[in-house]
Chain A
Amino acid sequence: MANKNPSTSISPRAPEPPALSESAAGLLRELVAHLRQNRTQLREEWARRITRAELLTAMTEEEIFAEATAVYDNYVEALETGTFEALQAYSRRLSERIIPRGVETDEVVGIVLLLRDVLARSLFTKYQDNVDKLNRILDSYEPAANRIANTVAVGFVEERERIIRQQQEAIRELSTPVLQVRERLLILPIIGVMDPQRARQLTEQLLRAIRANRAKVVVIDVTGVAAMDSGVANHLVQTVEASRLLGATCIVTGLSPEIAQTLVTIGVDLSEMATVGDLQGGIEEAERLLADRSVLPAPREPGTDTSR
């Protein structure tokens, strides 16, 4: 599915599955009527098979039965109308409820396949004396049933992905702490993989911290950065420039030989950036800068820091 946004993925005016011939529509109606008539029994059978297969173990039997009922009704409705919005919305809500409880993708796929089996078996039983009709009924049933299984599974996976993205976001926030070492001195240790979004977030956080702490010097330590491409390197340069606009001098430490080599090779201009080999050296340099300006609230060199 190219379009992942749940609110737009299947619009009410989406093309319907291929139009059924008159008799096929009749068969589908017959099928739906059968499922409605045997709702109680089939639903119970399904819930039993879920428990027996040890699926949804995180849920109580009552909960399983309640969800099974809702899925069953949505299932029949989707079969009848050929539209999947209600089922899709329901599976999204279901996923929201059960993912935090540790329900896994295979369980969700498992239960929809079980329902498919339970219903197919009831059809076998009902039409066992008329194989020809059974086949025609299955012709109507199978494509719709597959699409239903698909809808529920995809809904679940999408919800999981959304949660994972949310967690990644939270980890990002946590993984870029701006630390105040002493008055007017901040340290920003950057660890892990840098991507444009993280780089942007990091800069926004740093700039706010500079303002909040009235920092004059920032040591940006990139020892923990595995690799740096030109995009991230340019971003680093921008961060240094933006910090200067707020009156803070940046010292970059911990550029590995590999990264240094890459940056020079790809032609990133780091000439205006103060760099010191390691974090300790960077902090010493920062202390020196701050001491130089100890007389007054430490104004910085005007504009041209290249003189250093």
Chain B
Amino acid sequence: MAGFSSGEQTVIAAAISEIARNILMYAKQGEVFLSLATNGDRQGVVVVAKDQGPGIADLERAMQYGYSTSHGVGAGLPGAKRLMDEFEVDTVVGQGTTITMKKWRRVI
């Protein structure tokens, strides 16, 4: 996929799995979009996860490693953030959450 090594692909898959689980747990349903991107001499994959769930009230806490309001191990969002190069959360309480994360690799 997009020239990523199998190790990087596994990492991307794990990150997607974490945010998908996050959607299932809190918003029950949502969507995950994948696309390819180019930035200078880097190529990458962009993952956008959208839901119309409850939103995240305390984003700072949600991004702390080991914190979870549900019964996960708390890898969730901070775990996914660790795995990716860029990670952005856009959330409005009562309206939903959009997570955009990117992983880059240098094009040789």
Give the chain B neighbours of A19 by CB distance below 8 A: none
Q: Are B7 and A204 in contact (CB under 8 A)?
A: yes
Q: Are A8 and B38 in contact (CB under 8 A)?
A: yes
| Contact of B61 with A by CB under 8 A | no
Using A162-B108, A166-B108, A169-B108 as known contacts, say yes or no to A2 and B40 having CB atoms under 8 A apart: yes
Query: Which residue of the partner chain B has the closest CB to A166?
Result: B108
Please classify the interface of chain B as helix (H, G, I), strand (E, B), loop, or mixed, using the class held by over half of its residues: loop
The A-B contact count (CB < 8 A) is: 18
Alpha-carbon separation in the docked complex, A5 to B41 (Å): 5
Give the chain B neighbours of A169 by CB distance below 8 A: 108
| Contact of A3 with B by CB under 8 A | yes
Q: B14 to chain A: closest CB distance in Å? A: 13
Q: Are A5 and B108 in contact (CB under 8 A)?
A: no
Alpha-carbon separation in the docked complex, A197 to B4 (Å): 13
Within residues 18 to 73 of chain B, which ones have a CB less than 8 A from any CB in chain A? 38, 40-41
Q: B37 to chain A: closest CB distance in Å? A: 11
Within residues 81 to 95 of chain B, which ones have a CB less than 8 A from any CB in chain A? none
Using A5-B107, A165-B106, A165-B108 as known contacts, say yes or no to A204 and B38 having CB atoms under 8 A apart: no
Give the chain B neighbours of A4 by CB distance below 8 A: 40-41
Nearest 6 A/B pairs, CB to CB: A204-B7, A4-B41, A166-B108, A165-B108, A4-B40, A5-B41
Alpha-carbon separation in the docked complex, A234 to B68 (Å): 24
Alpha-carbon separation in the docked complex, A197 to B103 (Å): 13
Query: Which residue of the partner chain A has the closest CB to B43?
Result: A5
